Amino acid sequence: MDASLVFRKAYRQMHRAVQVHGVLGTVRLVAEKLRRYGKELGAPASFDSPPVSNFDQMWNVQTDGNEDLSELQVIDKTNYLLGTRYQPTSPEMFNEIIEAYPLPLQESIFIDCGAGKGRVLLLASELPFKRIIGVEFARDLTEIARANIQGYRSLTQKCGQLQAICVDATIFPFPVEPTILYLYNPFAGEVMRKFIEHVENTLKQHPRTFFVLYRNPKYASLWDGSKYFNRVRATDKFVIYKGLREVKTNGVEGLPRDNRDN
């Protein structure tokens, strides 16, 4: 890409961030993004899927890729600086997470916030969920996910009610049915905190069975601090949280604090 184009694009992003967050807020956001990218650059490459996966070849869909948000059309200009790049979950990892704890699949809807191109939606459709919803704030990825849903043909599919919605997850109106929520580290810092508050509010208004399956749990400490959830399984790759019927108060909890798999 031409250097002048890179500069203009960076300038537009910085100008937009200053308008939304102010100078100090933008400095903080940039520092957070640089810190995260620095960790990624210093760490060995680790991807759930090879460049061309067997999954995409088998089902004639397009869920591969590692898409940076700066190259996508996002509907929210406030939170995108703390969003993370799209990266698909491998079928093996998804199955490992699903099988790690007895989940009420048939009673629940499945929601993937940060659904990207929709691979997890397709994987979830092989299970007997009531319905499946993908939440994504990049228009490009949402359209790809919708095409993948339309093109997916599996004789073993157990849930045919799938949809991909283009909306900011922090304002997504959660259905009031029992829910299993999947997250592949979709956002960082303040946006994750804002999202957790949004989930807590929906549970406060409509108490119900609610599980969170958190893949690559970089901000698990924020979920651990919630009065509405207990972690019931944890590995270095994922954490599973269960919503509480009774809110935790003064360190007293409605469920055992920790039941970890080592």
Which has the minimum average pLDDT: 93-102, 120-129, 214-223, 241-250?
241-250
Between residues 109 and 257, which one has the greater pLDDT? 109
Q: Is residue 211 a contact partner of residue 243, using CB atoms and an 8 Å limit?
A: yes
pLDDT single digits (tens) 86-105: 689 999 999 999 999 999 99
Residue 160: its H or E element: none
Per-residue confidence (pLDDT) for residue 53, from 0 to 100 = 78
Q: What is the pLDDT of residues 118-148, one digit of tens each?
A: 999 999 999 999 999 999 988 889 999 999 9
Query: How confident is the model at residue 4, as a pLDDT?
Result: 61
How far CA 183 is from CA of 8, 27, 112, 158, in Å, comes to: 33, 27, 6, 22
Q: Does residue 116 or residue 2 have the better pLDDT?
A: 116
**pLDDT over 80 at 38, yes or no:** no
Q: Is the pLDDT of residue 11 over 90?
A: no
Residue 202 has pLDDT above 90, yes or no: yes
> Virtual CA dihedral for 167, 173, 178, 183, nearest 10 degrees?
30
Q: Which residue has the higher pLDDT, 211 or 17?
A: 211
- What is residue 257's DSSP assignment? S
pLDDT of residue 262: 34
Q: What is the predicted pLDDT for the residue at 118?
A: 97
Per-residue confidence (pLDDT) for residue 14, from 0 to 100: 63
Handedness of CA 245, 224, 227, 205 (dihedral sign): negative
Name every residue whose Cβ is closer than 8 Å to that of residue 57 and which is 6 or more positions away in sequence: none
Pairing of strands 162-166, 179-184: unpaired
Does residue 243 register a pLDDT over 60? yes
| Phi, psi angles (nearest 5°) of residue 182 | -110, 135
- 198-235 burial code (b ≥16 CB/10 A, e <16): bbbebbeeeebebbbbbbbbebbebbbebebbbbbbbe
| Mean pLDDT, range 58-77, rounded to an integer | 67
